[in-house]
Structure 1
Amino acid sequence: MGLPASPRDLATFGNSIDITRIRYKDFKDLLWYLIFIKHVNRDLLALIVIVAWCMWFYRNKTRLGNPRQPSREILHKACLILEEFQLAHFRKPHHRQAQDSSWVPSTYSYYKINADAAIFNNSVGIGIVVRDHEGSVTAAMSKHLQLPLGPLEAEAKAMEEAISFAWDIGVRDVIFETNCSTVSEALNGSTTPPVTIVNLIMDVHHRLQDFR
């Protein structure tokens, strides 16, 4: 039986790559064997690395009291991560028509907090503006973080900072707003958050319970 042509084929490929009878000093030796002896293709090799990471990740969660994940679920999660990475890095850019992004005031007695982020060299700039229902600015904050984040991670971090800022100034009746559709959809539960921001999204979800 040959090697699978795509990452998802590994789910049905089973144990055709017999590596159980060989002892490896470390994970690097295993990768060396797969690359130079088995000539594993790049997609499958990437999937194997991600599976190893998922095993480490879920082992740590199990130590913290979370239920143990079956191997099929770990493989499924690894496939999703790889496909997500490939879509983000290898898809062709597409252009959309400009949409009206004018600010819309909140309903009476509620505040609206807008959070945004900008990327610099190995750092992130975060801006937060708090407005009342009439559109008047009641508070604002800018913050510079020495974190090498990508654009998506920076937007998620900005939302986390906005929640902390709202709590510090005593605002509870609030609508949080971001111009990042991926973060917004993940927080609304309409999509599964990308793996790079899943922990931030989970933290934001938890902290939002303290607001009305």
Structure 2
Amino acid sequence: MVHTLWSCTYIKVVWNSDFNWVVCCPSDSESFSDVLQKIRAKLALVPLFATTAWSIWFQRNKSRQQDHPLPLHSIAGFAKNYLCEFRGLVSPKPLKRRTVSRRWCPPAASLVKINFDGAWYNESEKAGLGVVIRNGEGQVLAAMSEQIVKPPSVELLELLAAKRAVSFAAETGHEQVVCEGDSKSVVNSLRGTGKENSQGGHLIRDIKSPSNSFLRISFAHVGRLCNAVAHALAQRASYGFCIG
């Protein structure tokens, strides 16, 4: 293979235009993989090297079948054109990205919105919970943060934040609430539309049990940007700055 595709005297004319910087005299023990390793010194040329090697083999087969092969001095140009056409076919067209407005949305007039989040840091044994309650005008009615011992997983931390949000709503006397968190799996579990985590099953039951005392309660998923205040409170709590 090394001789047929690389070191044969007759095909040096194919390689000389772009690969004359590579020594074309391999030792007896050199394999085609060794040749490729030399080419990898210039990664940008690897696709052209592969296409040129394929073109040599393709024209060799055409010669064997007497099927009008290209002359050797034309193979390098054939390979370049082939690669250029291929890249033109597979080059993805730039996607037009729609700008999506991401901001906190107020609840209906009769409801309050409770955003909750947890903060997790690998280098610490502590974690933080953050909860903020706002009315339909976006005014903060109450907020709290709490430092806890880090649970075994981030999902359990988010469940603990949801549990604290429900209990905080009850403590502050709110009976019609929308609870928002940025963990989709946790929110789906609380809605009953996701897989129930075996480790967090007891927490889900603890959250749903007092929920029966509310006139209205629901859970919704939001992006991190919409949950920024609760996340900031949780971060502060993880470092020991707690708000009651």
Residue deviations 1:120-143 (CA, integer Å, cap 9, x gap): 322210110000011111110011
1:159 aligns with 162
State yes or no: 1:102 paired with 2:103: yes
| RMSD, aligned α-carbons | 1.9
Distance 1:181 1:101, change over 3 A: farther
1:137 aligns with 140
Counterpart code for 2:149: Q
8 Å Cα contact 1:130/1:140 also seen in 2? yes
Q: For the residues of structure 2 that align with 1:177 and 1:98, how far apart are their CA atoms?
A: 23
State yes or no: 1:122 paired with 2:109: no
Identity percentage of aligned residues: 31
Aligned equivalent of 2:210, options 199, 207, 210: 207
Residue 101 of structure 1: how far off its partner (Å): 4.3
Residue 168 of structure 1: how far off its partner (Å): 0.9
Q: Which gives a bigger RCO, structure 1 or 2 (Cα 8 Å, sep 6+)?
A: 2
State yes or no: 1:174 paired with 2:177: yes
Counterpart code for 2:189: A
What SS is found at the alignment partner of 2:107? coil
Distance 1:101 1:205, change over 3 A: farther
1:188 aligns with 191
What SS is found at the alignment partner of 2:206? helix
TM-score (norm 1): 0.51
Q: For the residues of structure 1 that align with 2:169 and 2:158, how far apart are their CA atoms?
A: 17
Residue 118 of structure 1: how far off its partner (Å): 0.3
Q: How does 1:22-171 map to 2 (within 5 A)?
A: 101-120=102-121, 121-171=124-174
TM-score (norm 2): 0.45
8 Å Cα contact 2:126/2:150 also seen in 1? yes
8 Å Cα contact 1:125/1:142 also seen in 2? yes
Residue deviations 1:162-208 (CA, integer Å, cap 9, x gap): 11111111111111111110111011111221212111111111111
Show structure 2 runs of 5+ residues with no match: 1-97, 216-244
Distance 1:106 1:196, change over 3 A: same
8 Å Cα contact 1:124/1:149 also seen in 2? no
Distance 1:98 1:177, change over 3 A: farther
Which has the greater radius of gyration? 2
Q: For the residues of structure 2 that align with 1:147 and 1:192, how far apart are their CA atoms?
A: 23
1:25 aligns with none
Residue deviations 1:16-69 (CA, integer Å, cap 9, x gap): xxxxxxxxxxxxxxxxxxxxxxxxxxxxxxxxxxxxxxxxxxxxxxxxxxxxxx
Show structure 1 runs of 5+ residues with no match: 1-96
Counterpart code for 2:119: A
- 4+ runs deviating over 3 angstroms: 97-101
